[in-house]
Structure 1
Amino acid sequence: MQPINQLLITIAKILEEILKETDSLSLQQASVFHTSRAPSISIQNYIQRIAKYTHCNSVCFVFALIYLDKIQELHQDVVLNSNCIHRYDIIIMN
C-alpha cells in the first residue's frame, strides 16, 4: 500500500469543508453529474485511490482543486456537493 500523502489529506479536508456548506443548500437543478445519493466512499479514500491507480503526483491534485474552484466561479449554477464531487474528481483527473 502507498504511504499516505499529507497533501492529499489536506485537499480531501478542503473538499469536505466545501461539501459541508454545499450539502445544506437546496439545489434548484441538478447537473448530469449528480447522483440520487452520495457514494459510500469518503473523499479522502477516493482521492487516495485515484492517486494509487493513476500514479498522479500531488501537483495534479492541487491543479484539480484549482480547476474545481474555477468551475464554481465561472458556472455558479453548478453546485459541488456530495452527490457529484466523486464524478467531478474522476473527470478532472483523467
Structure 2
Amino acid sequence: MAEIQKSDEEMPRVINFMASVLERVAETNDLNGRYSAQKISIFDGLTRPTISVQSYLERIFKYANCSPSCFIVAYIYLDRFSQMQPLLPINSFNVHRLLITSVLVSAKFMDDM
C-alpha cells in the first residue's frame, strides 16, 4: 500500500499561523535576553534544534495524524502556560519540547476515543 503524502496544499493554515507566532515569540525572548534570567526547566535543551518550528509542526501534522483543531487547542495550552509561568518564557531552547508536549496533551483531549 502506498504511503499517503500530505502536500503543502493540504497543510492546514493553522500550522503556518502557529509556526509564525511561536517563531516570533521565541526570537523576541531570545533577543530580549529573557533566557539568561529565566529558571532552567526540563523543557530547555542544551542547544537550539536545527529544525525550524514550521518544519517541526508540519512533521508532527504529517506523522501524528492530529486534527487541525488539535493544533488550535495546543496553541491555547502554550498561551496559558506562558501566562501562568512568566519566569519560563518560550524561547529557541524550549519551543520544540513545549510544542510537542502541548500537541500530545491536546491530541489526548481532542482526538482520542
Q: TM-score, normalised by structure 1?
A: 0.91
**17, 22, 34: which is aligned to 1:10?**
17
Share of identical aligned residues, percent?
30
The separation in 2 between residues aligned to 1:93 and 1:83, in whole angstroms, is 18
Please give the residue correspondences for 1:78-93 in structure 2 after superposition, counting only pairs within 5 Å.
78-93=88-103
Misfit runs of 4+, over 4 Å:
none
Please give the residue correspondences for 1:2-81 in structure 2 after superposition, counting only pairs within 5 Å.
2-4=6-8, 5=11, 6-24=13-31, 25-26=33-34, 27-28=36-37, 29-81=39-91
Please list every run of 5 or more consecutive structure 1 residues that lacks an aligned counterpart in the other structure.
none
Please list every run of 5 or more consecutive structure 2 residues that lacks an aligned counterpart in the other structure.
105-113
Report deviation, 1:7.
2.1
Higher relative contact order (CA 8 A, sep 6+): 1
C-alpha RMSD over aligned residues: 1.2
SS at match of 1:38: coil
The residue type equivalent to 2:29 in the other structure is: T
Q: TM-score, normalised by structure 2?
A: 0.77
Does the 8 Å contact 2:75/2:102 carry over to 1? no
The residue type equivalent to 2:62 in the other structure is: K
